[in-house]
């Protein structure tokens, strides 16, 4: 158990039967009345951001998490397989737990956050940028380049970008 004085950006807490990550916080000491902490909490399971205010000294249930590097191996339908780069253990995650699975290429390194109590994966942090080869694109139309001309392209992973 932690108190509001322990709140910091990136801390994971259990709140309303769900695990949230603190995105923003602000300690407020008004001239009149008790101090409080205004927070923005992002749900780990849904990604929804909510605002909440904790009174000073309020006990919060912090969740211990750890991050590990994993290498993307392959996918079969909706299951994506990753290997720990330290001990070579493999895990399989559903497509719904990934932000942009169509941009993952074999061998990419991702960071997976685990709950240390039950070793369940919470979030998958994708690389900030990826280098992919364009496999197909439509030819440009003459006279269509006076402004920023964009056209759809198919990447080597099958992702379509514009």
Q: Say yes or no: 158 and 138 in one domain.
A: yes
* Per-residue pLDDT band at 113 (split at 50, 70, 90): confident
**What is the pLDDT at residue 40?**
94
Domain ends where: 22, 45, 62? Answer: 62
What average pLDDT does this structure show over 50-77?
89
Q: Tell whether 78 and 119 lie within a shared domain.
A: yes
**pLDDT surpasses 70 at 7:** yes
- Higher local confidence (pLDDT), 83 or 94: 83
Let me know whether 104 and 137 are in one domain: no
Please indicate, yes or no, whether residues 97 and 116 belong to a single structural domain of this protein.
yes
pLDDT score for 144 = 62
Contact between 115 and 67 under an 8 Å Cβ cutoff? The reply is no
Please check whether residues 36 and 71 belong to one and the same domain.
Answer: no
- Report, as an integer, the average pLDDT of 17-45: 89
- Per the structure, the count of domains in the chain is 3
Please state the rounded mean pLDDT for residues 60-89. 89
Percent of the chain predicted with pLDDT > 70: 94
Same domain membership, residue 16 and residue 56: yes
Quickly list DSSP for 65-99: EEEEEEEEEEEETTEEEEEETTT--EEEEEGGG-S
Q: What mean pLDDT do residues 5-12 have?
A: 87
Rounded to an integer, the average pLDDT of 58-82 is 89
| CATH code, domain carrying 75 | 2.40.50.140
Domain match, 85 and 51 both = no
Query: Binning pLDDT at 50, 70 and 90, where does residue 51 land?
Result: very high
Phi, psi of 95 (to 5 degrees): -60, -30
Do 53 and 6 belong to one domain? Answer: yes
| Order of strands, sheet of 2-3, starting from the edge strand that comes earlier in the sequence | 2-3, 59-62, 12-15, 18-28, 36-43, 49-55
Of 62, 84, 113, which residue sits at a domain end?
62
Q: Give the model's pLDDT for residue 47.
A: 79
Domain assignment of residue 161, given as a range: 132-162
Q: Which CATH number covers residue 51? A: 2.30.30.30
pLDDT score recorded for residue 143: 64
pLDDT, the chain, mean: 84
């Amino acid at each position: 158990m932690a108190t509001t004085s322990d709140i910091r950006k990136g801390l994971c807490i259990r709140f309303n039967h769900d695990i949230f990550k603190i995105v923003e916080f602000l300690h407020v000491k008004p001239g009149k009345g008790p101090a409080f902490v205004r927070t923005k909490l992002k749900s780990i399971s849904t990604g929804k951001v909510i605002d909440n205010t904790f009174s000073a000294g309020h006990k919060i249930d912090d969740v211990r998490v750890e991050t590990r590097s994993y290498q993307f191996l392959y996918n079969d339908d909706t299951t994506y397989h990753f290997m720990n780069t330290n001990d070579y253990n493999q895990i399989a995650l559903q497509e719904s737990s990934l932000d942009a699975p169509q941009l993952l290429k074999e061998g990419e390194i991702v960071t997976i956050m685990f709950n240390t109590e039950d070793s369940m994966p919470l979030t998958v942090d994708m690389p900030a940028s990826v280098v992919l080869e364009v496999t197909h694109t439509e030819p440009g139309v003459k006279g269509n380049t006076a402004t920023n001309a964009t056209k759809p392209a198919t990447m080597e992973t099958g992702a379509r970008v514009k």
